[in-house]
Chains A and B, each alone.
Chain A
Amino acid sequence: MDVGRIVRNVSRYLESTTPSSDTGDSVLPDHE
């Protein structure tokens, strides 16, 4: 299993599909 390839591909996908408006603001953890 090429872990590096998986990480690169998943990361690239998320970085290209996440709207700019969703970045920058930290998501605060929830403890349900």
Chain B
Amino acid sequence: MLKRTTWIVQERLHPTAGNSTIDMLEQACDEAGCALIRVDVTPCSKEMPAIPPVSAPFVFYGYTTLITNAARSPLWKSSVFFDPDLFQPSMYAQQYGDLYLNPETRTLTCEAFRAESHPTETRFFVRPNTVLTAATST
């Protein structure tokens, strides 16, 4: 059986270079002989949008809500290129090195930071080691 990839793409993606991203993907899929399914995603929802039955292989393309929900779903997670252990600033700093913005970034626990000795007037920029809104809002 001929395998053709189905692209499951979120509606209303930001334009790419002034063009509709989903339209560009749809045209590219047409040219590659692949199907494209548009899905409407409710921001910050924890539920998968309605998706018609599809055959493997398929891949998701969209923003954080769609990708993290798909990654949590036993049914859909195999088609998400997403590893929460890699999707965090400490990993960016490790992999990008000097190419990373603020390469001197350190990752440590609040307890470890409190145990360090710094002049009282020193200011720090502190952020969680995650970029997932779901992780910071629950």
Contact = CB atoms under 8 A, between A and B. Distances in A.
A23 B53 contact: no
A3 B55 contact: no
A14 B57 contact: yes
Nearest to B36: A7
Given A23-B3, A24-B55, A30-B48, A7 B28 contact: yes
A28 B73 CA distance: 12
A18 B56 contact: yes
* Chain B: interface size category: 35 or more
B110 interface: no
Contact of B28 (A6, A15, A18): A6
Contacts of A32: 46-48, 69, 72-73
Interface residues of A, number: 24
B115 interface: no
Given A3-B16, A3-B24, A7-B29, A30 B56 contact: no
5 contacts: A3-B24, A11-B4, A11-B32, A11-B34, A26-B53
Interface of B: 1, 3-5, 7, 16-17, 21, 24-25, 27-29, 31-32, 34, 46-48, 50-59, 69, 72-76, 79
